[in-house]
Structure 1
Amino acid sequence: MSQRKVDRIINAINTSDGAGVKLRRSLGQSAMARLDPLLMLDEFFSDEPADYLAGFPSHPHRGFDTVTYILDGHMLHEDHLGNQGDLKSGGVQWMRAGRGIIHSEMPQQTAGRMRGFQLWINLPGREKMVPPWYRDVPAEAIPEYDLGGDSRLRLIAGELALGSGAITAAIGEPFTTAPIYGDLHLAPGQVELALPGSHNAVVYVYEGEVTIGEQTVSSGQAALLSQGESLPLSTEAASRALLIAAKPIGEPVVQYGPFVMTSSAEIEQTLRDYRDGQLALP
């Protein structure tokens, strides 16, 4: 099998979103910093309540999926349809914005560490106006697979030779982009994972350093990978990283803030829908 290598490194930059939540953004910091269909990846990590307490008050989305993965902390999700999700340490929420959703994500703690990630995955044009939905999966429902030598993989979504991810099982039907989302806990040594050759893939290191092929990737860096069918990883010290992959869509991406469509005309219609209260009708 051909091995994947690092094509490009994106260094995460400090920024803020919502009502001032401090975070680091790798994918999505510019239109050139994407990997079809992966639009954006944010890491939030703070022990200071002032950095996260204001949270993400009510805001709209249309045209893509958001995936929120909490390592530490407690976040409450509410949407315009009256749904609620209580996201705690180790849990994940997968939300399909589809034709439109208005929601909030608010911390439910006043002290301690808030740490996690939010990923945006694009939808094909024919799926951008589907009804919205979401799934919450608690930490204990996310399967962990042994990679050997004390390394392991928490598989949030996707199908690998190791097994199926939590969201894949919860949804019970295939995603067009067949996303793979895993949290790698790597012990010193080497591991190799088989990946579908049809997928674009990125590794985001958030603790330690991981070597892919001959390229070392440090914490806060997203490594965009070449094509291939296997992913060789090695570390000299315990490290953690996200593995994210999906089938490319190959369509234009036109983004205006929280709206992602395939043309400027669709964005203009989305803005009219939001102005007129038609964005998120049930």
Structure 2
Amino acid sequence: MSGAAVATAARAIVHRTRGSAHGPITRLVSPGDLGQFLKPFVFLDLFGFTPSADHKGFGFHPHSGIATLTYMVEGQVGYEDTTGKKGVLPAGGVEWMRAGKGVWHTGAPVSDSSVQGFQLWVALPAAQETAPAESLYLSPEQLPQEGPARVLLGRYGAAQSLIPAPADMNYLAVKLKDGEHWRYTPPEGHTVGWVAVNQGRLDAGDDSGGPIGTGELAVFEESGEAIHFSARGDTAFLLGSAVKHPHELVMGYYSVHTSRAALAQGEAEIQRIGARLRQEGRLG
């Protein structure tokens, strides 16, 4: 055998999508399609708009059985939720909403400036899906960083998120300069892997479809192998890796649970909170 280095095969990309547009929202993942393959990551929206009479924000709406993480790429939004939290989420900040047994929340731009961001839904384990709702809002300064990656959920290197998310998942916001290379080695058991690009173009070692472009999501084969990235132009993207969620996805309109009984419990709590909001004049 020669002393030459043996090339490592790239981790294959098995699916690519630009999602489906619904006004200012592009749905890249939903529980009824890629969410089945990527669970616990069951839903991902990329949103972006300039506030106007037609697009004023996202009114009060409910969730149960999941946690949502909203990451602001650009602009600021005011937030309010039925756990009693209220404030302004700046660019680079995150909202973590563990809906559990049921919660309502809302968000709207606080100026005329454009906003852009991602909202992720995470399927919760059975022990947490009917727990009391809990929210956490973090400024950019509260997001730990390791190399080019800000840690939104989980741990990368010495950087660990302050968010008490379920174990066995990482969610990173990564920025690479033109031509910069980066290697992500998932923790043991993290066979689920994907990236979504919001700026630039990204090579991920699999040349079959060309670089992953702005607004595109790529799903990697289920494996524990490392992924090698290189940027074509200044590039920003999100990366998710996790241990596969072991439960079936039992879905409501705003909810995902592990059983029909848990879904019924969550929907009952959503209705109870919604009735209170209507009595208070906070719903149309």
The normalised TM-score by structure 1 is 0.84
Query: Match for 1:240 among 207, 219, 236?
Result: 236
2:214 aligned with 1:223, yes or no?
no
Distance 1:92 1:23, change over 3 A: same
2:89 aligned with 1:82, yes or no?
no
Q: Distance in 1 between matches of 2:144 and 2:97?
A: 20
Deviation at 1:263, TM superposition (A): 2.9
Answer yes or no: is the 8 Å Cα contact 2:168–2:243 preserved in 1: yes
Answer yes or no: is the 8 Å Cα contact 2:83–2:133 preserved in 1: no
2:13 aligned with 1:6, yes or no?
yes
Q: Give the partner amino acid of 1:78.
A: E
Deviation at 1:258, TM superposition (A): 0.9
Distance 1:27 1:112, change over 3 A: same
Answer yes or no: is the 8 Å Cα contact 1:36–1:248 preserved in 2: yes
Map 1:60-71 to 2 at 5 A. Answer: 60-71=62-73
Q: Give the partner amino acid of 1:12.
A: G
Deviates more, 1:251-260 or 1:211-220: 211-220
Taking every aligned residue pair, what percent have the same amino acid on both sides? 27
Distance 1:58 1:229, change over 3 A: same
- List runs of 5+ in structure 1 lacking aligned partners: 17-21, 147-151
Deviation at 1:243, TM superposition (A): 0.8
2:175 aligned with 1:185, yes or no?
yes
Describe the superposition over 1:14-68 as per-residue Cα deviations: whole angstroms up to 9, x where unpaired: 114xxxxx1111011x612211110111111223534631x12122111011001
Q: Distance in 2 between matches of 1:276 and 1:157?
A: 30
Deviation at 1:192, TM superposition (A): 1.1
Deviation at 1:144, TM superposition (A): 3.0
- List runs of 5+ in structure 2 lacking aligned partners: 1-7, 277-284
Distance 1:244 1:49, change over 3 A: farther
Answer yes or no: is the 8 Å Cα contact 2:75–2:115 preserved in 1: yes
Name the SS of the counterpart of 1:239 in structure 2.
Answer: strand
Deviation at 1:265, TM superposition (A): 4.2
2:185 aligned with 1:194, yes or no?
yes
2:152 aligned with 1:132, yes or no?
no
Deviation at 1:91, TM superposition (A): 0.7
- 2:159 is matched with which residue? 164
- 1:25 is matched with which residue? 27
Describe the superposition over 1:174-218 as per-residue Cα deviations: whole angstroms up to 9, x where unpaired: x43432121111123322122124121110011121111123211
Name the SS of the counterpart of 1:125 in structure 2.
Answer: coil
Aligned pairs, number: 261
**More strand as a share of residues:** 1
Answer yes or no: is the 8 Å Cα contact 1:255–1:267 preserved in 2: yes
Answer yes or no: is the 8 Å Cα contact 1:6–1:213 preserved in 2: no
Describe the superposition over 1:118-148 as per-residue Cα deviations: whole angstroms up to 9, x where unpaired: 11100012210111111111112223333xx
Distance 1:275 1:241, change over 3 A: closer
Query: Match for 1:213 among 205, 220, 244?
Result: 205
Name the SS of the counterpart of 2:173 in structure 1.
Answer: strand
Name the SS of the counterpart of 2:32 in structure 1.
Answer: coil
The normalised TM-score by structure 2 is 0.83
Answer yes or no: is the 8 Å Cα contact 2:10–2:206 preserved in 1: no
